[in-house]
């Protein structure tokens, strides 16, 4: 385990401030080129590219109810571009501003979609190596892909941030009164997605009594689990938590979870799992919040972005 030195700006040590400030105030300009690809089940994924003519590609996976338009995604795309990598930020099903075609959507375990994106990138473009970067849900998805599936050999390294690698215990933390505002925001956004699906697929899904849902247990029991083939929320959480699969990861991987992340319980700091795998490093800064790690500088790069490109460049050099 490593505890890299991250010193937050004055007045930004609080985990909630670190979490909320970038969402409201950070602006990053990236000019994407969008590509829509058809999935194996006749759905679609929208990919946003920012290329520099490199033979190295970083694929970036966003968090719950995020998109490629989020500042933390754009900030990472800028960082990899500035360091000689092409950037590909992909939107999960229903996250690009348009409802997807199928009833299924996305969740913490959609490794099939991530694999589809990787396969598309490697066969259409002449990249010699691919790195994966994931935030929150996207971080869990990335670790799950690396540890549970058979990752494509072109994937050479990965960096993930603010990872709820134990979904059951993370859901319990988010259900606490101290996280009520976050929980409410997620549920409102998810309800908007459900309403859009209701118009496309009347009779297959509804939101009757949705106001009674107060946490992810109720939401996942009603929607995520049955729609995606799980018995219930607990079955979904247990099968899609990346923590048990971390010992199986075979490519250099860096996990960065801040100690004051309001979304993460103690179980989401996988010290024992990392100790059993020399390929994986765990960094636990004292501060950083959830997908925060704020820095103020002329480059408009956050500490997390600098750490990511350092790790990717180092391992690219070794390859």
Q: What amino acid positions are annotated as catalytic residues?
A: 136, 261, 290
Number of neighbouring beta carbons within 10 Å of residue 189? 12
Angle at the Cα of 261 (from 256 to 264), degrees rounded to 5? 90
Which stretches of the chain are DSSP H helices?
15-25, 71-82, 111-124, 137-148, 167-174, 180-200, 216-219, 225-227, 233-240, 271-275, 303-318
Residue 283 backbone phi and psi in degrees, to 5: -115, 125
CA–CA dist 105, 15 (Å, integer)? 30
Interhelix angle 303-318/71-82, rounded to 10 degrees, is 40
Which 3 state secondary structure label does DSSP give 98?
coil
Pull the structure tokens for residue 12: 């930004």
Closest Cα partner for 172 from 185, 160, 183? 183
Q: How far apart are CA 313 and CA 319, in angstroms?
A: 10
How crowded is residue 79: how many other Cβ atoms within 10 Å of its Cβ? 26
Distance, first Cα to last Cα, the chain? 23
Cα–Cα nearest to 142, from 125, 165, 124? 165
CA atoms within 13 A on the CB side of 191: 16
């Amino acid at each position: 385990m490593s505890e890299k030195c991250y010193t937050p700006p004055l007045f930004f040590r609080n985990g909630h401030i670190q979490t909320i400030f970038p969402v409201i105030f950070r602006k990053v300009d990236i000019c994407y080129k969008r590509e829509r690809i058809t999935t194996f089940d006749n759905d679609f994924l929208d990919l946003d590219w920012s290329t520099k003519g490199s033979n190295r590609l970083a694929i970036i996976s966003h968090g719950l109810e995020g998109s490629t338009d989020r500042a933390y995604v754009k900030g990472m795309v800028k960082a990899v571009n500035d360091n000689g990598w092409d950037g590909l930020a992909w939107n999960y099903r229903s996250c690009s501003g348009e409802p997807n075609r199928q009833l299924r959507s996305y969740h913490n375990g959609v490794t099939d979609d991530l694999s589809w994106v990787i396969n598309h990138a490697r066969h259409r473009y002449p990249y010699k190596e691919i790195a994966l970067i994931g935030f929150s849900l996207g971080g869990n998805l990335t670790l799950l892909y690396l540890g549970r599936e058979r990752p494509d050999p072109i994937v050479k390294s990965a960096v993930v941030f603010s990872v709820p690698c134990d979904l059951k215990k993370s859901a319990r933390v988010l259900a606490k009164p101290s996280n009520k505002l976050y929980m409410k925001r997620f549920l409102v956004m998810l309800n908007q997605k459900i309403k859009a699906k209701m118009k496309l697929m009347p009779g297959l899904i509804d939101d009757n009594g949705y106001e009674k849902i107060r946490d992810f247990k109720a939401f996942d029991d009603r929607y995520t689990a049955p729609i995606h083939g799980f018995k219930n929320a607990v079955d979904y959480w247990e099968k899609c938590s990346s923590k048990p699969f971390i010992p199986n990861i075979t490519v250099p991987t860096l996990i960065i979870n801040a100690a004051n992340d309001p979304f993460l319980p103690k179980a989401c700091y996988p010290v024992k799992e990392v100790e059993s795998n020399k390929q994986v490093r765990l960094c636990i800064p004292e501060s950083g919040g959830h997908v925060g790690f704020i820095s103020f500088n002329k480059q408009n790069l956050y500490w997390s972005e600098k750490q990511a490109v350092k790790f990717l460049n180092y391992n690219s050099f070794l390859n």
